[in-house]
Every structure is written in C-alpha cells, then in structure tokens.
Chains A and B, each alone.
Chain A
Amino acid sequence: MHEGCQNPATCPMGRVLSRRPGWGAVPECNTGNPATTGKGTKTNVPSLRGDPRRRRSPLVHVAVGAVGVVLQVLTSGLMMGFVYALVAVGLSIIWGVMDVINFAHGEFLMVSMYSAFWLYTLLRLDPLFSWPIEMAIVFALGYLTYKVIIRRVVDAPGLAALLATFGLSLVLRNLAQFLWTPNYRFLNETLVTDKRLILGPVVLGMPQIVAAIGSVVMTILVFYFVQRTRMGRAIQATSLDKDAAKLMGIDTEKVYAFTFGLGGACVGVAGALLSSFFPVHPESGALYSLLAFVIVALGGFGNIKGALQAGVIIGVAEALGGFYLGTQFKYAVVFLIYLLVMQVRPSGLFGW
C-alpha cells in the first residue's frame, strides 16, 4: 500500500522519518490507494508489497497522503465523539434536572458492558440485539439508585450527593471484580466484528460505525422524548422549578426517579454499543465518565443538544490533538479545549 515508499531512500518522508526517530507524527506517505477505494466492506487491501505501476510523483503523493490521514483521524474522532456524547447525555440529564453529579456514571456504563458481555457469552445474544435489555437493566439500576440512595441526599446541602454516588461507584466497581474477576473480557465474534467500510482513504470499523449511529439515534430519541412526551415535559418542569412543578400536580419524586433511570438508560445503550470493540473489565467505565464530565460542562448542564455537539468536539479534538501534538497529550488537549471554550462561553457552549 505504500508502494512509492517501500524504499525509504527514495521517499522524502521516509528520510525525514529516519532522521528523527522521535517523531512518529510525520504524515503517512500514501493512504489513498486507488485499488481499495469504494470497494465496500470486504478486506481487500493488498499486502505490503505494492505495485510499482501505481507510483506517483512525490509531491502529489505527500499531499494526498496527508489529506487522507487527516480525514481518517477526523472520522475516527467523530465516531468516538458520538459515543462520548451518548455517555454524556445520560450524565447531563441527571445533572441538569436534579443538580446531582453522578460519580457512579462510569460504573453504570461498566455494568451495561458486563450485561452485554454475559448475554452474549451465555445466551449468544448479540449486543446489536440485546441493547434493549442492557438499557432496561441500567434503567432499573438508575431508578433503584434514586429510590434507595439519591432521594435521601438530593435535597441535602453541600456535596452529600457527590459523596453518596462516589461511594456507590466504589461499591459497583469492586462488586464487579468480586463477582466476575478483574479479567479483561472482549467480545470478538459479534455480528459487527471485523467488518469494515472503506471510503476512499478512510477506513471505518463497523463496530465504531454502529456505535456512532446508535449513539446519535439514541441521543435524538432522548431529545424528542424530553421535548415531546408528557413525562418529558414533566421532567422539564421539575428541572425548572421543583416546587412549582409539585404545585402543578407533578409527582416530582417519580420524575426524579425516572430521570435517573433515563440517564442510566443512555449509558445502558452506550455500554451495549461499546462492548463490541472495547474490553470489558471493572474499570472500563472510569475514563468515559471523566470525559463525560468535561463534555457535559462544555455543552451546558442538562442540554442534550449541547452534549451531542460537545461530544463531537471532544472526540475530534482528542483525535487531531493526539495526532499533531503526540498521542500522550490527547486528553490534555481535551481539557485545554474545555478551558479555552469556557473563556468565551462561561456557561458552556449552549448555555446562557
């Protein structure tokens, strides 16, 4: 596939590369291989040794290659961003409606991933179809969390809710280790595994595509649920003013519990989608929840659209920042973007 560059001595990029061993960031010589363009999902990329006929002049070569790489990085970032967004939407709803930071959010995600894993391992139920079950499981988990724990602290002063959810996250994480051992599990034979979509220079993994599409669909569904349905309006009313909502006859307890469940349902779906390409283990939720905090704040608390857009921004920033500055800085770039954006919009991109 790098036919022009097989010999580093003839490839200008190759020489740059070998002169600076520390620089992995030099753009690839050529990913825009015409042979692989638009051939659908089959893996038909020729092996390492290329065909000399497809050699191009070095200049074109570098340009096409660079654009291809950037496109590839962009699209991967974009797809990750959609998944981040869905995780963040769940957090954002809870945060926006009852002003509770759910520190156990990542653990909800982990529970969902384990559910998907076990449903597949024990019942051969593909995550592609089992997601409603995961959604229901984590909805129930969220609902129960509210009924048992959060309702005792939701009106308490200070950071009691934070304390409670942090404790819960410890319990869930270690309970998972207790029950299922700390082994890294991986679903390697799902329906989407190893399928790919090749669009010109860009190669997209099917698990990621499915996860991205699923996340967007779920996010939109949640958005319309909150905007259009009776329950959704009750949630909005409660988030605006709990006491006024109560006076209007809204059962705010029920709304709160439902909201917590809904937040859980979002990560439930996200977990099912992630389980086809991300290893499952007791700590797998931790990083996602950290990113979700930033995304929620970037989008504005309780703002579903904001979370979606912020998720995309973070996903792309992570990918591009990682590519140009060095991959070890990719999360630093994410946090930096947050700080910079907040200078211009102190209440999030879409807050007022």
Chain B
Amino acid sequence: MNESPWKDRKEPAGEPTRRLTHGALERTGSDGQALRPAQPVRRRARAPELWLLAVSAVVAVLPLAVNNVNFHHVLIMFLIFASLGEAWNIITGLAGQTSFGHAAFFGIGAYAAAVAYFRHGISPWIGMAAGAVIATAVSAVVSYPVFRLKGHYFAIATLAVAEIIFQLFVSWSYVEGATGISIPVAAEGLATFQFHTSKLPYCYITLAAFVGTVLVFRRVEESRLGYYLRAIKGSEEAAMAMGINPARYKLYAMMISAFITSIFGSIYAQYILYIDPFMVFALAISMKIVLLTVLGGLGSVWGPVLGAAILIPLSEYTRILLGGTGKGIDLIVFGALIVVVACFQPQGIVGLMRSHGRRRAERGVSGDARRDATAVA
C-alpha cells in the first residue's frame, strides 16, 4: 500500500485527521462522544427531547402569530430542509459516509406521490408510503456497490448514482419525462393532501414529520446502531475488529436516511403541486442538504435545524430583497456569508455554542483545531 506519493496520506497515529471517513467528523457535532461515550450522553439524555418540545411549540405558534403567506412558505421550507438535513446526518454525521446524492431519494419520493395521483388517482399518502419503500429499496440496491468505496470515492459515487437516476427520470415517459408533472388540483383536504386556501395544514403536517424525523435521529443516535455507526466512522477496521459488520450497519443507516428523505420529497411535491426532474433531482438539492447540515454542525441533532434556520431564511430573504435587481447581488451576499461562516466557525454553529458552553472542559482537540483555524484572524 501507499507506494504512490499522490494518493492516501498516512496519518500519524493519535493525531486527529482531516479525513472524511476517519476521525475528523467526530470532533464536530456529536462532539467527542466517540471519545468519551458514557458520561456526556447520560447527562444530556433527555435534554434534546425537551428542546424539541420547545422548538416545535414555538414553530407551531409562529404561523398563527405571523399570518403571512411568505413567512409560512419559509417556515415550511425550513422544516423540510431541516428534516432532510437530519436524515442526511444519519448517514454522514453518524456513520461518516458523505453522500452527495440524497436528491435521488428526495426525487423518488416526490415522484411517487405525484405519479400515484396523476396516473392512477391513488391517494398521495399511499404514493408517499410506496415512494418511501421504493427509495429504501433503491438505497439498499445502490448501496451495495457503493459502500465498497471509501471517503471521497464514496461521495463521488453517490453523486454518480443520483445523476444516473436523474437522467432516467428525464427520459422516462411514464413519469412524463422532462415535461414534469402538474399534480391535478383536487378538493382540499387531508385525504387528497392538497390545501389551497391556507398553508397552515402544510405547516403542521411538515412540523409533525419534522418532529418524527428528529425523534428517529435521536433514537438512532442513542441506540446500539448509533454506537456502531460512530465506531465505523472512527475507524472501520477497528469497528470490524470489535465484531461490527460495517457494511450491514452502514446499509441500515442509508436505508433509514433514504426512507425519511423520500417522505419529505412527497411532502414537497404535494406542497408545490408541480414537479419536474430538474427541480427534485437537482444537484442543488443534494448540495443544499449538505451545506445546511455542515453549517449547523455535522453529526449533532441540532446541527441541521440550526443550519436550516439560518440558510433557508437567508436565501429566501436575500432573494426577495435583492433578487429583483437581476444582477445576482443576492447570491453574492449569500455566498460570501457562507464563506465567512465556514472560515471563522468551521465546526458549524453547534460547535460554536457548545464550545462556549463547555469552554473549560473542552481545551482539548477541538480547541487546538479552532486555534489553528482562527489564529490568522
């Protein structure tokens, strides 16, 4: 191994590395849990659930307090993308497998709900369930060849899978190909999953799904599977030595992640009522999920939520305020802010908050990293 100077670098033992698949991610977000499992986990065992209650209560009241369609839209988008980030966090934050291809599952979900109603007049709820099952199955089938790849090779492979699925949908006449599907307008109601007079039902359905997603993430994080995944992220070889089958648990993580992602794809389709492959299979969707989770904090339950809470309103409001100029100023501002956050808080917002909370206790690894990163400032 390692004859070529150009490929894998050897990492000095004990030194935290920058590798995606090795120790690097564990320092962020989940914050050293792999290093010190017992104590901190016990201490904050119920705290996230309480926080979740508080957050969802606030989110539930907000749309009533601010009766503004655009605000409701931003809220729904925030909930959808926070949940997508949460789902992505399972495979990337916990298991350390960077996926750039989650748009594929999102798109499958969106198309399942739309096609069920458009082609067969079946309730989109059934479509949603079918989509989730299909997405899970696809993730299982696709993961088998893809999981053999490590690190960035894996990341690019997920990208490749998503692009192939995108191409297939563009040319598949059963799903109307490139033309896209305008979901036929039906009577409003929970059964048809269409609401025309108000966005509130969408808000609450999405909120419920969001709460469910956070609970699933917590469940996975705290369970045996979560520990296995973190062990795999730390070192696949070490995990194997301990008797964990990495392929199997990575597969489970991927399937859970795909399942959730697909459900939100269905919600998105029912919300927009029009889908085409270019919007739901876009690389931009995959990247948005990645960005907001990394921005918030990888591997932590609140990372995607914080990331989405910043990124989604930021992109919406910069566009609303500056997008009409036609000069791209909104995206310049948006991009510059992302760069600034990445430069000065590479661990994401969660990392920042946590490091402040436990400044004294945390003089270890991450302190060094941050000093490196901000020494130039």
Contacts and interface: CB of A to CB of B under 8 A. Distances in A.
Interface of A: 95-96, 99, 101, 149, 151-164, 166-171, 173-175, 177-178, 182, 236-237, 239-243, 282, 290, 293-294, 296-297, 300-304, 326, 328-329, 331-332, 335-336, 338-339, 342-343, 346-348, 350-352
B6 A158 contact: no
A101 B167 CA distance: 25
Interface in B292-344: 294-295, 298, 327-332, 334-344
Contact of A173 (B161, B330, B331): B331
Interface string B4-43: 1111111010011011100011011100000000000000
B138 interface: no
Interface centre among B160, B290, B298 (most CB of A within 10 A): B160
Contacts of B244: none
B44 to A, nearest CB: 21
Interface string B345-366: 0111000000000000000001
A303 B287 contact: no
B347 A160 contact: yes
A217 B332 CA distance: 36
- The 8 A-B pairs of least Cβ separation, nearest first, read A170-B335, A156-B346, A167-B338, A174-B328, A160-B346, A302-B6, A164-B342, A332-B167
B287 A351 contact: no
B159 interface: yes
B347 A155 contact: no
A170 B16 CA distance: 31
A262 to B, nearest CB: 13
A157 B291 contact: no
Contacts of B290: 159, 162
B350 to A, nearest CB: 11
A168 to B, nearest CB: 6
A153 B346 contact: yes
A166 B346 contact: no
B98 A169 contact: no
Contacts of A296: 156
B346 A152 contact: yes
B347 A301 contact: no
A351 B331 CA distance: 38
Contacts of B10: 240-241
A154 B18 CA distance: 8
Contacts of B376: 151-152
A308 B5 CA distance: 17
Contact of B335 (A169, A243, A303, A348): A169
B349 to A, nearest CB: 12
Contacts of A301: 6-7, 152
A156 B343 CA distance: 9
A118 B267 CA distance: 47
Contacts, number: 213
Contacts of B327: 177-178
- Interface SS of chain B: helix
A173 B18 CA distance: 28
A149 B339 contact: yes
Interface residues of B, number: 74
Given A161-B342, A339-B164, 16 more contacts: A153-B342, A153-B343, A158-B298, A160-B346, A167-B337, A170-B331, A173-B331, A174-B329, A175-B328, A237-B5, A239-B9, A329-B167, A342-B148, A342-B153, A348-B7, A352-B4
A186 B298 CA distance: 43
Nearest to A154: B18
Contacts of B12: 241, 243
Given A157-B24, A158-B25, A178-B332, A170 B338 contact: yes
B208 interface: no
Contacts of A157: 16, 18, 24-25, 27-28, 346-347, 366, 369
Given A171-B336, A174-B328, A348-B153, A163 B164 contact: no
Contact of A167 (B328, B339, B346): B339
B328 A240 contact: no
A343 B145 contact: yes
Contacts of B24: 157-158
A194 B98 CA distance: 45
A170 to B, nearest CB: 3
B366 to A, nearest CB: 7
B163 to A, nearest CB: 5
A107 to B, nearest CB: 10
Nearest to B340: A167
B2 to A, nearest CB: 7
Contact of B6 (A160, A168, A177, A300): A300
A336 B290 CA distance: 23
A282 B8 CA distance: 34
Given A177-B327, A177-B328, A328-B171, A160 B164 contact: no
A346 B164 contact: no
24 contacts: A99-B9, A149-B342, A156-B372, A157-B366, A158-B28, A164-B339, A166-B287, A167-B342, A170-B334, A174-B330, A182-B328, A300-B4, A326-B171, A329-B167, A332-B167, A338-B156, A338-B157, A338-B160, A339-B164, A343-B145, A346-B153, A347-B8, A347-B150, A351-B8
B344 A99 contact: no
Contacts of B57: none
A173 B329 CA distance: 11
A305 B219 CA distance: 46
A294 B164 CA distance: 13
Given A158-B347, A178-B328, A95 B342 contact: no
A163 B152 contact: no
A99 to B, nearest CB: 5
Given A153-B343, A156-B346, A157-B18, A163 B295 contact: yes
Contacts of B164: 332, 335-336, 339
